[in-house]
Structure 1
Amino acid sequence: MGFTPAADNLVTENPDHIHIMPPADARVICPTDYFSGPGKKVLLLLNQEIKLPVAAVQQVWDASQLRICADGGANQLYKYSLKHGLDWLPDFVIGDLDSLRPDVSIFYKSKGVKVKQQASQYYSDLDKAITLSNLALLDSTINLDDYDDYDGLSKHEESITDSIKDKVSVFMMGSIGGRFDHTVSTISKLIKLHQTRPNFEFIVRNNEYNEYILFIPKGRNFVTLLQEKDYHRGEELVKASLPLVGLLPLACPVRLSTTGLKWDVTNWESSIEGKVSANNLLVGDNGFLVDTTGPIFVNIEI
């Protein structure tokens, strides 16, 4: 990345609005591409109450090619649909099913939803849902009855050589917030999935605060909420208040260089036991650049 040793740990305060020209070699990370961009789209619902407005959930639902509830996520979808008079049905419910309410299971089965138990405790319900995503995208006619109820799907995936090569965008609801161990488990899982499923891009929507949580891989990245066609319109789309941004070194210590934040950093050391850029602000009217020596997470206010 060509960091200059003499410029270590610099912090530069910027004006409230600047325009960024994304370098050609930057990886573009744009969660709103989920709604109209190319590629395969999967919605994963986990076991946490859905608190988002109907319009926000509807947008994700309509954009998704595949909709999967991980165990108790089916309870949450059922409750939300009942509350708002919606007739939404997932494609699959999967997990060890220890959280799935019997009445919810009966209801979804009666509507033709495929409910599959995978009882193994060596895979999390999130693991099982992602495995099913891959298999169902490979074969839209997959018959879940062909696989045992312990770990049949995971074993099947391990035995096949084929896999999805195209980009797969996975929108996760109900994975952040609630029990702290579940949140940390999700973070850990996303770090590992970047290695095992590099073509899967995960978008996490906070259920209790209006923000995305994004995995940012090592290297140069341009993070934006605008689609490419709107980059030049950044000044027109500036918010009245500046969105909050956090750069979170949850995987390992890193060095960061940024362009487009209120307090940009250059070759800045960051770690959980050291410095963390929290409560920063987005001043790039079309996004910001972050160059990182290792993977980080970014939370960005919507």
Structure 2
Amino acid sequence: MYVFLFKRYLPTAIVGDLDSLDQDSKSYYAQNGVRIERDPSQDTTDFQKCLQFLESNQTRLLGSEKYFVVVLGGYGGRLDHTLHILKVLINQCHNRKIYFLTNDNISFALPNGENFIQTTKGVDGPTCGILPLSGECTMSTKGLRWNVEDTVTSVTGLMSTSNIIDDDQFGLESLPAYCSSTYPKTPAPPHPCAGTNSSSRDFAAPSTIRSSTTLIDS
């Protein structure tokens, strides 16, 4: 995914407070026609700024197509950022699908109700966790190694971690929850600004491959 996107696309815009955007990277993208938009607000994170940019520019960038968001490397190694991202995912899960991809995992939030997740053996899994981050919830699952039925889970109580995906599709019914699954590790590609100190936190939000918008937060 990293290699495919970096080789095929330049970002439409770089959005954020730009505190971590070094001059070499800024010059590289500006020279290639990338829009650089600074939002100095300290009340929102760069991830939220990217989502707001998509919302305010949806018609111009994506037309009337319903889009989903793919975030590459967005966790960035900081626990406080990660926890805030999880909160945003839960808050947004009823509005749009947001997927986080790292070298090790794909993760996303699931809205309340019945959910079915299609998987590809050898690509997705084998392990997965389903974490109730919006409060106590009652959860039922199928398609996993250790399924539960009408089981109460919470951050301070029982949580489903290190489960195994056994079927090509698994399902669950619950209140909003956070799902994370591993996949085979692949080497990270070189950044297009090789030799610079550019941020590795890259945000892509394609509606489809033929019509996509890529954002980088800084």
- Shorter-chain TM band: 0.7 to 0.9
- SS across alignment from 2:97: strand
TM-score, normalising length: structure 2: 0.76
Q: Structure 1 residues 273, 138: closer, same or farther in 2, change over 3 A?
A: same
Query: Is the Cα contact below 8 Å between 1:167 and 1:201 reproduced in 2?
Result: no
Match of 2:137 among 244, 250, 254: 254
Match of 1:221 among 115, 125, 128: 115
Confirm whether residue 193 of structure 1 aligns to residue 89 of structure 2.
no
Confirm whether residue 245 of structure 1 aligns to residue 128 of structure 2.
yes
Q: Structure 1 residues 264, 140: closer, same or farther in 2, change over 3 A?
A: closer
Per the alignment, residue 169 of structure 1 pairs with 68
Per the alignment, residue 297 of structure 1 pairs with 178
Match of 2:101 among 197, 202, 205: 205
Per the alignment, residue 288 of structure 1 pairs with 170
Query: Is the Cα contact below 8 Å between 1:256 and 1:268 reproduced in 2?
Result: yes
Measure, in 2, the Cα distance between the counterparts of 1:106 and 1:181. 30
Amino acid corresponding to residue 167 of structure 1 in structure 2? K
Measure, in 1, the Cα distance between the counterparts of 2:125 and 2:65. 35
Query: Is the Cα contact below 8 Å between 2:13 and 2:35 reproduced in 1?
Result: yes
Instruction: Figure out how many residues of one structure are paired with residues of the other and give that number.
Output: 183
Query: Is the Cα contact below 8 Å between 2:138 and 2:153 reproduced in 1?
Result: yes
Query: Is the Cα contact below 8 Å between 2:139 and 2:149 reproduced in 1?
Result: yes
Amino acid corresponding to residue 247 of structure 1 in structure 2? I
Confirm whether residue 119 of structure 1 aligns to residue 40 of structure 2.
yes
Amino acid corresponding to residue 295 of structure 1 in structure 2? P
Measure, in 1, the Cα distance between the counterparts of 2:30 and 2:162. 45
**Larger CA Rg, structure 1 vs 2:** 1
Runs of 5+ unmatched residues, structure 2: 184-218
Q: 1:94-147: per-residue Cα shift (whole Å, max 9, x none)? A: 111111101211221111111111111122211111111123321149xxxxxx
Per the alignment, residue 153 of structure 1 pairs with none
Measure, in 1, the Cα distance between the counterparts of 2:44 and 2:130. 29
Q: 1:153-202: per-residue Cα shift (whole Å, max 9, x none)? A: xxxxxxxxxxx87531100112235010111111011112235xx1x210
Per the alignment, residue 204 of structure 2 pairs with none
Confirm whether residue 94 of structure 1 aligns to residue 39 of structure 2.
no
Measure, in 2, the Cα distance between the counterparts of 1:131 and 1:119. 14
Measure, in 2, the Cα distance between the counterparts of 1:97 and 1:253. 38
Match of 1:104 among 22, 25, 28: 25
Q: Structure 1 residues 165, 219: closer, same or farther in 2, change over 3 A?
A: farther
Q: 1:37-84: per-residue Cα shift (whole Å, max 9, x none)? A: xxxxxxxxxxxxxxxxxxx3234x2xxxxxxxxxxxxxxxxxxx6xxx
Q: Which has the higher helix share?
A: 1
RMSD of the TM alignment (CA)? 2.4
Q: Which has the higher strand share?
A: 2
Amino acid corresponding to residue 150 of structure 2 in structure 1? N
Ranked by relative contact order (alpha carbons within 8 Å, sequence separation 6 or more), the top structure is 2
Match of 2:147 among 264, 271, 283: 264
Q: Structure 1 residues 135, 242: closer, same or farther in 2, change over 3 A?
A: closer
